[in-house]
Amino acid sequence: MKPARDITRLLEIMAALRSPVTGCPWDIEQDFASIARYTIEEAYEVVDAIERGDFGDLADELGDLLLQVVFHARMAEEAGHFAFADVVQAITTKMVRRHPHVFGDARDLSPAEVKQLWGQIKAEEKAERRARRASDAPPEPHGLLAGIPHALPGLTRAIKLQAKASTVGFDWNDARLVLEKIKEEIAECEEAIDAGDAAHVREEMGDLLFAVANLARHVEVDPEESLRVTNAKFERRFAYIESKLEERGRALKDATLEEMDALWNEAKGQER
C-alpha cells in the first residue's frame, strides 16, 4: 500500500492495521481506553511544535493527531457505533450551526456578541442531546459544573470550573483578593508540612494550585502555557549549567550546589 495525500488512503491503512488476520498485533489489541493517553500526548506534541515554531514538525505532529481520530473512528465502526464519515458530518454540521454570523443571517456581530451567541447555541445543543438520549443510557451529569471533562489537565479544568461558577456571581471581582487567598493557602501548606501530615499536605497543595489557577484566570493568562514557558526556561538554564561544568571538565554529580546556583544566575543574567 502506497502513501497518498487523500484521507481515504489513511482510512484504508487503519482498516488494514486493524484486520483480525493480517493486521498489526499491537493495533488489533487496542481499545478506546488504551489509546486515549496517546491521543492526549499527540495533542501536546502539536502544541510543542507550534511553540518551537517548527512547521515541518507541526505537519508531522498534526498527522499523528489525525491518526488518533482515524483510530478511534475505526474502532467505533467495527463496534457498529459510527464511522469516520459520521465524525466529519458531525463537526461540519456543528461548525455551520455555531456560525450563523458567517453561514446564516446573523450578520455584523461584534466579537463579544459572537461569543455570547456561541454559548447560547452550545446550551441549545446540550438540551437537544439530553432530549434524544436513549432511555437505557447512563444518566448525564447535571448542574452548572457538569460537562467539563475530567481528563483535562488539572489547571485547565480548574479554570473552566471557576469560569462556570463565575457566571452566577460566585467569584472575586479583584485579582488582588485572589493573591490574598494564595497567601492564605501557602500558610496552610506550611502548617500541614510542619505537622508531617502527607494527606493534609496533598490537600493543601491542591487548594494552592487551584488558587493559582484562579489568579491566572483573573489576569487572563493560560496557566498551562505559562508553566510550559517556565519549564522551557528551566531546561535552558539547566543546560547552561551542564555545558559550563563540562567546559571545566566537571560532572554534575561532582558540582556543589553553590557552583550550580552561581551558573544558574549567570544564565539568568545572560537572558536579560
Distance CA 177, CA 157 (A): 21
Residues 6+ apart with CB under 8 A from 60: 49
Distances, alpha carbon 55 to alpha carbons 46, 52, 212, in Å: 10, 9, 32
Q: If you search the block for the grid coordinates 491566572, which residue do you land on? A: 216
CA distance 18 to 244: 50
The answer, yes or no, to whether residue 168 has pLDDT greater than 90, is yes
| 129-152 pLDDT, tens digit each | 777 766 556 666 678 888 788 878
Q: Is there a contact between 144 and 168 (Cβ–Cβ < 8 Å)?
A: yes
- Give me the helix-helix angle, 55-78 and 7-17, nearest 10°: 60
- Mean pLDDT of the 63-81 span: 97
CA torsion sign, 227 to 203 to 192 to 221? positive
HSE, side-chain direction, 13 A CA sphere, residue 111: 0
State residue 106's pLDDT score. 81
- Tens digits of per-residue pLDDT, 82-115? 999 999 999 999 999 999 889 988 888 888 888 8
Across the chain, mean pLDDT equals: 91
pLDDT, tens only, 16-63 = 999 999 999 999 999 999 999 899 999 989 988 998 899 999 999 999
- What is the full DSSP assignment across 150-176? TTS-HHHHHHHHHHHHHTTT-S-S-HH
From residue 175, how far is each of 6, 170, 186, 211, 235 by CA, in Å?
50, 14, 17, 11, 30
Element (H, E) at 245: helix 223-247
Q: Is 74 helix (H, G, I), strand (E, B) or coil?
A: helix
Query: What per-residue confidence (pLDDT) applies to 263?
Result: 95
Q: What is the pLDDT of residue 272?
A: 79
Q: Are 37 and 44 in contact (CB under 8 A)?
A: no
pLDDT of 221 higher than 60 = yes
